[in-house]
Structure 1
Amino acid sequence: MPGTPSTAPESSVLVVDDDPEVRAAVVDGLSIEGYTVRAAADGLQALSAVAADPPAAIVLDLAMPVLDGLAVCRRLREVGNRTPVLVLTARDAVSDRVAGLDAGADDYLVKPFALDELLARVRALLRRAAPAEPESELLSFADLRMDPRTRTGERGGVALEFTRTECTLLELFLRHPGQVLPREMIQERVWGADFGPESNSLAVYVGYLRRKLESGGGGRLLHTVHGIGYRLAER
């Protein structure tokens, strides 16, 4: 069951979905949690709503008429809007999830989904977007560099950009180089207590980071330690 309204004081969420039943269910669930919720039925309405009154987070369906979710996400990021975005997709193919994240989304959820999971992911996005300032120093390991403030980096001369979740995860590894980090600890630090050990979000995001970090032909830096977790190391 949804939590108490006090879990989300004065946080505004924009829900964008062309399916009226899905849109109404998500709006109702978020409203019960205490969020101030607005809704849009297509991408153009979403961009207008963001321009008129920027929300704290956006729940964005990918498959919509007029202007789809990928185009909305790209346009927001192109103008420097960094509002956390949770994309909804009816397709579970890896390529569809990658497309959403490459467009600038921070997290994804596959339809059909449990409302409790959507609420948990919105809470996690808002926690990561809290105003606490990131560490100011440039983080580095081997030939990898990352600036947590801008969520940008570089490896082997290749410029890199990271989503909010990718940056939080990579920052954790960069602050503990060479150490084996247990899955449970990583999930708690990145996603919080809302995600149990059955969630596959960690493995998925490690895969996304590997794809970016190895895009210029560099060797693997994020290694799986079977049965335990992951380690940042040159080999």
Structure 2
Amino acid sequence: MEAGRILVVEDDPDINALLARIATREGFEAVSAFSGTEALLRMERAPFDLVLLDMMLPGMDGPAIIGRMREAGARTPVVVVSAKAGASDKVAALKLGADDYVTKPFDPDEVAARIHAVLRRAQGAPVPLGADVGDEVLSHRGLRLDAARRRVTLDGVEVALTVREFDILHVLMRAPDRVFSRERLYELVWRCGYYGEENAVNVHVSNIRKKLSAAGAQDEYVKTVWGIGFKLA
């Protein structure tokens, strides 16, 4: 994976500098922004491969930035780095379109690992189900997933999914008859140990359903198997 550019959006100068050092240590070019409005200006002027984003910012807060990005169709991965550690805060950020969430105080190595994991997903690394996806194209009842191009369409209408949403759908479509527990989906998509993060999986599945519905889906494509997890419907 080639190193890219990371935008660090954090109003605390010390934390901003620390996050920038972590990104630089991992081989990325780090660009700092200290307010929400500055972050949007920087994103308008040049592309970034990933955004490390605080939630409480002057000018425009983190949720508003994520909302603006997703409404504009930007698929740049966002890793939230926030002091808000409540489950409801994480769920809210994921619903808006964040790809991952790290709470403060954080371990620099964890931040680095999250950056690499999210970028692997964004750059099309194969879903780890034992086979290289190559130019894999999967179809199911009008739903089409192009693995190489990371593109999903429903009856020809493009469905804009975030990194995590795409990968969850990819896992389900590669094994249409299999029921995946929330724990297993988390391990496959996030590529790390499961720490009771079932809210993260639930929120992303909910987002997939909403986006497919908005694209014209009349029937359910992701079925909840109560007490177990999810499968392709």
User: Same fold, TM exceeding 0.5?
Assistant: yes
Judge which range, 181-190 or 56-65, deviates more: 181-190
Q: Is 1:170–2:180 an aligned residue pair?
A: no
Which residue in 1 is equivalent to 2:84? 91
Amino acid at match of 1:46: A
For residues 16 and 45 of structure 1, the distance between their equivalents in structure 2, rounded to whole angstroms, comes to 9
Amino acid at match of 1:112: P
Q: Is 1:38–2:31 an aligned residue pair?
A: yes
Is the contact between residue 61 and residue 87 of structure 1 (CA under 8 Å) also seen in structure 2? yes
- TM-aligned CA distance change 1:210 to 1:81, over 3 Å: closer
Which residue in 1 is equivalent to 2:129? none
Instruction: Write the deviation string for residues 131-166 of structure 1: whole angstroms up to 9, x where unpaired.
Output: 5787444445xxx95656445769xxxx98643202
Is the contact between residue 88 and residue 111 of structure 1 (CA under 8 Å) also seen in structure 2? yes
> Taking every aligned residue pair, what percent have the same amino acid on both sides?
33
Alignment of 1:55-66 (within 5 A): 55-66=48-59
Is the contact between residue 60 and residue 85 of structure 1 (CA under 8 Å) also seen in structure 2? yes
- TM-aligned CA distance change 1:83 to 1:182, over 3 Å: same
For residues 75 and 135 of structure 2, the distance between their equivalents in structure 1, rounded to whole angstroms, comes to 15
How far did residue 17 of structure 1 move?
0.4
How far did residue 89 of structure 1 move?
2.5
Deviating runs (4+, > 6 A) in structure 1? 213-216
Q: What TM-score results when the alignment is normalised by the length of structure 2?
A: 0.74
Alignment of 1:127-142 (within 5 A): 127-130=120-123, 135-140=136-141
Is the contact between residue 177 and residue 231 of structure 1 (CA under 8 Å) also seen in structure 2? no
For residues 146 and 205 of structure 1, the distance between their equivalents in structure 2, rounded to whole angstroms, comes to 24
Gap runs ≥5 in structure 1:
1-7
- TM-aligned CA distance change 1:113 to 1:39, over 3 Å: same
Amino acid at match of 1:196: G
Given candidates 201, 205, 220, the residue that maps to 1:206 is 201
Amino acid at match of 2:172: F
Is the contact between residue 77 and residue 162 of structure 2 (CA under 8 Å) also seen in structure 1? no
Which residue in 2 is equivalent to 1:47? 40
For residues 99 and 200 of structure 1, the distance between their equivalents in structure 2, rounded to whole angstroms, comes to 17
Is the contact between residue 15 and residue 26 of structure 1 (CA under 8 Å) also seen in structure 2? yes
For residues 83 and 135 of structure 2, the distance between their equivalents in structure 1, rounded to whole angstroms, comes to 34
Gap runs ≥5 in structure 2:
126-133, 214-218
Which residue in 2 is equivalent to 1:28? 21
How far did residue 118 of structure 1 move?
1.2
Is the contact between residue 27 and residue 37 of structure 1 (CA under 8 Å) also seen in structure 2? yes
Instruction: Write the deviation string for residues 167-204 of structure 1: whole angstroms up to 9, x where unpaired.
Output: 20122022212324477764453223xx234x344x23
Query: Helix, strand or coil for the counterpart of 2:60?
Result: coil
Amino acid at match of 1:177: P
For residues 103 and 65 of structure 1, the distance between their equivalents in structure 2, rounded to whole angstroms, comes to 19
Given candidates 188, 193, 197, the residue that maps to 1:196 is 193
- TM-aligned CA distance change 1:188 to 1:211, over 3 Å: closer
Query: Helix, strand or coil for the counterpart of 1:221?
Result: strand
Which residue in 1 is equivalent to 2:224? 222
Is the contact between residue 95 and residue 204 of structure 2 (CA under 8 Å) also seen in structure 1? no
* Total equivalences in the alignment: 213
Which residue in 1 is equivalent to 2:231? 232
